[in-house]
Structures are given as structure tokens and as C-alpha cells.
A = this chain, B = another copy of it.
Amino acid sequence: MLRLTTQRQVILEELSKVTSHPTANELYDLVRKRLPRIGLGTVYRNLELMADNGMILKIEVGGTQKRFDATTENHYHIRCAECGKVDDLDIPVLNNLVAQAAATTSYQIIGHHVEFTGTCPACQQRLAREQAAQ
């Protein structure tokens, strides 16, 4: 089944090196430093494939682009409404919430995700500076 190609290895390695929840394009830039001839399509195909196989986590949060994470255990995120940056949140996963939801819906539940929206420190400063300038 899953063939162990150089591209696949390098994509996974580069994703593991980084904690920034990169988009496919950001990862493409990282991987291209080691494999200059890799195609963007290959990056997309492999990210999708590895996510399906549970090797990585696909984070489909608000904002336009999908993001990826080498940490596969469920955890929550906060996204900056200004710049789109995504950080991990260190709060416990609410497993009891799944039971609660299961009791009120006829869907068969697969998983859940909590996403906070906020302003990251850098954008807080920038906004304060811009306001002061007026």
C-alpha cells in the first residue's frame, strides 16, 4: 500500500520539524529546499494521503487555507483573526463533550475540534501602534 518515496519522507520530516501548523504552500517551500524539483501537486496529494492514514493531522479551521500538524492527538487551536497565525492551546480535550453531543444528534460522531479566535501578541502591538499614530 503506502509506498515509501523520498518525497513522502521529506514532507513528513519537514512537517515534524516545525510547530507552526504550516499550509500546503508553506510546506512546499520548506520541502523544495531539499527537493527542488518536487511539484506542489505532490505535496497536496501526500498531505491528503497521510492525513487519511492518520499519520498527520489536517486542521480545517476558519480562514481560507487548510493547515497541517505532525501531532496526531486531538488538541485545540487559537487562530489570529488579523494575520491567520495558528497556535496550539494547552487545555485538556473535552472527551465528555462527545458523549453529550452524541446524546442530542442522530449523526454518528467521528470527532470534534475547538477553535478559538483572537488577536496574537504581535498583532495586538501592531494595532496599538496604528491607533496611536492617528
Interface residues of A (CB under 8 A from B): 60-63, 76, 78, 80-81, 87, 89-91, 94, 97-98, 100-101, 104-121, 124
* Chain B positions within 8 Å of A106 at CB level: 120-121
* Chain B positions within 8 Å of A61 at CB level: 60, 62
Residue pair A118, B89 in contact (C-beta under 8 Å) = no
Residue pair A108, B91 in contact (C-beta under 8 Å) = no
* Chain B positions within 8 Å of A120 at CB level: 106-107
Nearest opposing residue in chain B for A109, CB measure: B118
A100–B105 CA distance with the chains assembled, in angstroms: 27
Residue pair A114, B113 in contact (C-beta under 8 Å) = yes
Q: Which of A87, A112, A116, A121 has the most CB atoms of chain B within a 10 A radius of its CB?
A: A116
* Chain B positions within 8 Å of A110 at CB level: 81, 116-119
* Chain B positions within 8 Å of A101 at CB level: 76, 78, 89, 91, 116
A40–B10 CA distance with the chains assembled, in angstroms: 42
* Chain B positions within 8 Å of A87 at CB level: 105, 107
Residue pair A118, B124 in contact (C-beta under 8 Å) = no
A108–B87 CA distance with the chains assembled, in angstroms: 13
* Chain B positions within 8 Å of A119 at CB level: 107-108, 110
A99–B70 CA distance with the chains assembled, in angstroms: 28
